[in-house]
Amino acid sequence: MVDLKVKVLGVNFRNPIIIASGPGGFGDELRKHLDFSKIGGFITKTVTLNPKEGNAPPRIVDTHGGILNSVGLQNPGIEKFVENIIPQLKDLDTNIFVSIGGDSPEEFKTVAQIIDNFQFIKGIELNLSCPNVSKGGLLFSKDPTLLNHIVSLVTNVTNKPIIAKLTPEVTDITEFAKVAIEGGADGISLINCPQGLRIDINTGLPYLRRGIGGLSGPAIKPIALAKIYQVRDKFPDIPIIGVGGVMTYEDILEFAMAGANLVAIGTGIMINPKLPEEVLPKLMEFLESKGINRYEEIVGIAHKGGLG
Ligand SMILES: Cc1cc2nc3c(=O)[nH]c(=O)nc-3n(C[C@H](O)[C@H](O)[C@H](O)COP(=O)(O)O)c2cc1C
C-alpha cells in the first residue's frame, strides 16, 4: 500500500488532495456529492468582515481550457459565517482551512482574530490576490510593502498556520514569496487566477459584466507549475499548496514533482465534484508502479534529479 499521508504546516493530512478556495463554497453543496472523509482538506470560499454581494452577472464564461470568473468575493461576512457556517464546517471530516480577504490590512487582522477562536480550524489562507474586486484584491500581492504588512498583522493575532495565496502576475514570484515568508507566512499557495478577457463579437462587449475576470482550469496549469517550481527552488522547505488546472491524477503528480506538498482542486470540482476522491486510486497505482512507497518522496523531485 502506498502511503499518501502528508505532514505539513504542523497538520496531518490523510492525502495531498484538498479543495481550493471558492468553487467548493462553504461545503454545503459539495458534501452532497463528495465524501470529505476521503480528502486531505478543504479551504473555504474567502470570508470578509462585511457581507459582499459579489459582482453583477454574467459572472462566468467558458474559454479554451478553462473558465473566466468574476464572482467578486460574494460571502455573508464574518458575523453570519460564525453564526451559520462554522457549525456546518465542524461536521466535515477533513482538515478545514478558512480563506480570508479584505479591503484593507486591518480587515484581514480583524477577521483572523475572530477565526482564531475556533480550535477545529487548522489554518488561515490569505486571499491576497483576488482579480475580481475593485478594492485591495490583486494589489495586495503585487505590492511588497502591503503584502508584508498584511501577513505580519495577521501572524501577530493568531498562532494558526498562515498561508499566503499569491498572484502569478508578477515578474519574479520568488521575491513575493520571500516577502510573505519574512512577514511570517508558514506556507504559500500558488496560484490565484491570472486576469483574462473574452469579448462577445455580436455585441462587441465583454461577456462578463465586470469586463476582465480570473482565468482558471487547465489553461493555467503550466503557469502554476512554473511558479511552484521557482518558489520550491529558492525555498526548499516552505510548505506549498499547488493550485491551477488540476483535472487528473497525472496533474497531481506534476504539481508534487514541481514542489507542491498539497494539491488543491478548484474548477475541476465544478465539472466533476467527485474528482478529488476519484483520482486517489490512480495516484496510488502510479506510485506503486514506480516503486515509490510514500507520496512525500516525490514532492519537489524535479529539483533532486527526478525519479532516477
Ligand atoms: C468560481 C471561482 C471562485 C473562486 N473564488 C475564490 C475565492 O473566494 N478565494 C480565493 O482565494 N480563490 C478563489 N478562486 C481561485 C481558486 O481557488 C484557484 O486559485 C484558481 O481557480 C485556480 O485553480 P483551478 O484551475 O483548479 O480552479 C476561485 C475560482 C473560481 C473558478
- The domain segmentation of the chain, as residue ranges, is 6-54+72-194+216-303
Beta bridge partners of residue 125, listed in sequence order: 99, 163
Cα 308 to averaged position of ligand 1 atoms, centre (Å): 35
Question: For 253-302, what is each residue's pLDDT tens digit?
Answer: 999 999 999 999 999 999 999 999 999 999 999 999 999 999 999 999 99
Residues forming beta bridges with residue 100, ordered by sequence position: 47, 126
Residue located nearest, by CA, to atom 21 of ligand 1: 216
Dihedrals phi, psi of 53, to nearest 5 degrees: -75, -20
Q: With CA atoms as reference, report the closest residue to 49 among 82, 80, 78, 86.
A: 78
Q: Does the Cβ of 243 fall within 6 Å of ligand 1?
A: yes
What pLDDT digit, counting tens, does each position of 69-108 carry?
998 899 999 999 999 999 999 999 999 999 999 999 999 9
- Coil/strand/helix, residue 280: helix
- Residue 217: name the closest of 251, 249, 187 by CA: 251
Question: Which of the two residues, 135 and 168, has the higher pLDDT score?
Answer: 168
| Domain 6-54+72-194+216-303, CATH | 3.20.20.70
User: Atom 11, ligand 1: which residue's CA is nearest?
Assistant: 127
User: Can you give the pTM of this predicted structure?
Assistant: 0.98
Confidence of residue 130 (pLDDT cuts 50, 70, 90): confident
For ligand 1, the distance from its centroid to the CA atom of residue 125, given in whole angstroms, is 12
Measured by CA distance, the residue closest to atom 1 of ligand 1 is: 23
The set of cell numbers assigned to 193 is: 487566477
Q: How far is the CA of 75 from the centre of ligand 1 (A)?
A: 14
Annotation marks residue 130 as catalytic: yes
CB-based contact 61:27 (threshold 8 Å) = no
Sequence-distant (≥ 6) Cβ neighbours of residue 180 within 8 angstroms: 128, 147, 148, 151, 164, 166, 188
- Looking at residue 138, its pLDDT comes to 81
Give distance in angstroms: CA of 74 to centre of ligand 1: 12
Q: Shortest CA distance to 245 belongs to which of 13, 20, 35, 59?
A: 20
Amino acid in the structure at residue 79: E
- Asked if the peptide bond before residue 194 counts as cis, ω within 30 degrees of 0, the response is no
**pLDDT on residue 193:** 96
DSSP state of 117: T
Catalytic residue, from 19, 47, 121, 130: name it.
Answer: 130
H/E run at residue 89: helix 86-90
Q: Nearest residue CA, atom 7 of ligand 1?
A: 22
CB of residue 22 inside a 6 A radius of ligand 1: yes
Rounded Cα distance between 153 and 84, Å, is 27
Q: Does residue 118 contact residue 148 with C-beta atoms inside 8 Å? A: no
